[in-house]
Structure 1
Amino acid sequence: MARFEPHPDRRPAIVAGASSGIGAATATELAAHGFPVALGARRVEKCQELVDEIKAGGGEAIALPLDVTDAESVKSFVHSATEALGDIELLVAGAGDTFFGQLHEISTDEFENQVQIHLIGANRLATAVLPGMVERRRGDIIFVGSDVSLRPRPYMGGYGAAKAGLLGMAKTLQMELEGTGVRASVVHPGPTKTAMGWSAPMDKVGEMLEDWAKWGQARHDYFLRAADLARAITFVAETPRGGFIAELEIQPEAPLADVKDRQKLRVEG
């Protein structure tokens, strides 16, 4: 006899921050794997464009407005998604943006904005779906974290603090949910080529990159693609019951170096 009942054939999912970047790629990937998906974002028209593409490919999806900084918006989103697709089996909490600036230069309001989006918003989503998951004794919550929560990076202090808080919340959930059948995971993207990651002001880019290199955080110029993270998140979601992936960090592979250059580096090192 199996230790756990397998995942149900139908696993409705909600993806927060699905209008672009990692969220959009994740919604598309999940739909391709048979998940009915509710795409949520403030730019609901962008979500609808993706929904049309998903449906054209034979998937099941709906687009709904979502602002994770608004508690009523989160409640309405989860309620509407449940009404349309059924009980939510999977939450991917990935809504957010990045504000670049040194901590002593940005305002407390700007700092708070990052916490509201990346930490409080994720908490609102999780608490909206967790009671039903615990009652059914199954479900997956996947938080989109960041490698910045593991290794702080200059000019991203507000974002990094919020993501560090998110990681702490996720780890606490893992302990508190043990034995309920509900799994909580964190996927940490490294540098990723998305609109969010390329929103730094041009007058700050040079000094920012210099600081990153100084602290060993800009070793090469390759970036992950949103599709790379979508595959990783889907892999976590599809992990058979009986085990779960607590944390998964994805980093971009460095470009292939010339053999002579590598030999020279070893000699000089």
Structure 2
Amino acid sequence: MPRFPSHPARRPVLIAGASSGIGAATGVTLAELGYPVALGARRVEQCEELAGKIRAEGGEAFAYRLDVTDGASVDEFVTAAEKALGPIEIVVSGAGDLEFGQAHTIDPDVFDQQLRVHLGGAQRLAHRLLPGMIDRQRGDFIVIGSDCADRPRPGMAAYNAAKVGVEALARQMRMELEGTGVRASVVRPGQTLTGMGMNATPEVVGPLLEDWEKWGFARHPHFLRAADIAAAVAAVVATPRGAHLVLVEVQPEAPLKETP
């Protein structure tokens, strides 16, 4: 007899931050693997377009507006998603953006907003969705962390603080959920090429990259693709029950050295 029942055949997934980047790539990857996906973000038009593409390829997708800083929006999104797809079995908390700034120069309101989106958003999703998972004695709650949580980078004060908090929250959830059948995991990307931070000016980015090189963060020029992080999420949720991928860190492979 197995120690745990197998995953159910149907495992609806809720993805917060699904309009672009890692969230969108995760939606596509999981849909291709047969998971029904609920795509949520403030930019709901992009989510609806992505859901249409997934359905055109034979997948099952639902799109709805989601603002993770607003508890009422979280509740409305979850209610609509579960009505469309059934009880949520997997949560991917990846909503967020990136504002550059030093700890002493970044606007405090911008700093607070970063915390509300990355950290507060994950907690709002947990508050709304974990009780149902606990009742069913199964489920995966995944937060998208960052290697900044382990190695903070200069010029990213709010993002660093938010990701440290998100990963600490996930570690605490893992302890509190022990014995419930629900797994809390962190997928931790290294440098990844997405739209986040791309609105920054060269005057901001230039000194930032110089600082990163000085402190040893820019070892090589290769970046991960959003699909690489989606593959890590897929590995976490596909792990058979009874095992738990607690932390998966994904780093870009360095360029190949020229052979002599």
Q: Does 1:134 align with 2:134?
A: yes
Whether the 8 Å contact between 2:99 and 2:197 is mirrored in structure 1 is no
Q: Could you tell me which residue of structure 1 aligns to residue 14 of structure 2?
A: 14
Residue matched to 1:224: 224
1:258 & 1:112 partners in 2: Cα distance?
A: 46
TM-score w.r.t. the length of structure 1 is 0.95
* Residue 97 (structure 1) aligned with residue 97 (structure 2): yes
Matched residues in 1 for 2:23 and 2:143: separation?
11
Match of 2:246 in 1: 246
Q: Distance in 2 between matches of 1:199 and 1:171?
A: 32
In 2, Cα distance between equivalents of 1:89 and 1:100: 34
3-state DSSP class of the match of 1:187? strand
Q: For 1:196, what is the secondary structure of its paired residue?
A: coil
Q: Deviations over 1:210-239 (max 9, x none)?
A: 100111001111000001111111110111
- Structure 1 contact 224–252 (Cα < 8 Å) conserved: yes
Counterpart of 1:40?
Answer: 40
Structure 1 residue 240, shift from structure 2 partner: 0.5
How is 1:109-120 mapped onto 2 (pairs within 5 angstroms)? 109-120=109-120
Give me the whole-angstrom Cα distance separating, in 1, the residues matched to 2:244 and 2:33: 19
Distance 1:256 1:200 in 2: 30
| AA matched with 1:123 | Q
Report whether the alignment pairs 1:159 with 2:174: no
Q: How far is 1:102 from its partner?
A: 1.1
**TM superposition shift of 1:104:** 1.1
Displacement after TM superposition at 1:205 (Å)? 1.3
Given the alignment of the two structures, is residue 195 of structure 1 paired with residue 195 of structure 2, yes or no? Answer: yes
| 2:2 match | 2
1:101 Cα offset (Å): 1.1
Gaps of 5+ in 2: none
1:206 aligns with: 206
Q: What letter corresponds to residue 30 of structure 1 in structure 2?
A: L
CA RMSD across the alignment: 0.9
Specify whether residues 189 and 197 from structure 1 end up closer, same or farther in structure 2 by C-alpha distance, changes over 3 A only.
farther
**Alpha-carbon distance between aligned partners in 1 of 2:43 and 2:166, rounded to the nearest angstrom:** 24
The answer for the alignment partner of 1:63 in structure 2 is 63
Q: Secondary structure at the match of 1:184?
A: strand
Give the structure 1 partner of residue 174 of structure 2: 174
Contact kept, 8 Å, 1:145 with 1:189, in 2: the verdict is: yes
Q: Deviations over 1:24-48 (max 9, x none)?
A: 0000111111111100001111011
5+ residue gaps, structure 1: 261-269
Q: Give the distance between the partners of 2:179 and 2:101, measured in 1 at CA.
A: 42
- Say if 2:36 and 2:60, in contact at 8 Å, map to a contact too: yes
Paired residue secondary structure (1:198): coil
Give how far 1:197 is off: 4.3
Runs of 4+ in 1 over 3 A off after TM superposition: none
Q: CA deviation at 1:200?
A: 2.8
What amino acid is the match of 1:96? G
Please tell me whether the aligned partners of residues 98 and 199 of structure 1 are also in contact (alpha carbons under 8 angstroms): no
Are the equivalent residues in 2 in contact too, given 1:67–1:74 (CA < 8 A)?
A: yes
Task: Return the alpha-carbon distance in structure 2 between the equivalents of residues 201 and 162 of structure 1.
Answer: 22
Instruction: Compute the displacement of 1:56 (Å).
Output: 0.8
Q: CA deviation at 1:258?
A: 2.3
Deviation of 1:257 (Å): 2.1
Instruction: Name the amino acid aligned to 1:120.
Output: G
Tell me how far 1:120 sits from its aligned partner.
0.3
Say which one has the larger Rg: 1
Corresponding residue SS for 2:39: strand
CA–CA distance in 1 between the matches of 2:126 and 2:9?
Answer: 23
Q: How many residues of Structure 1 are paired with residues of Structure 2 in the alignment? A: 260
Tell me, yes or no, if the aligned pair for 1:44 and 1:64 is still in contact at 8 Å: yes
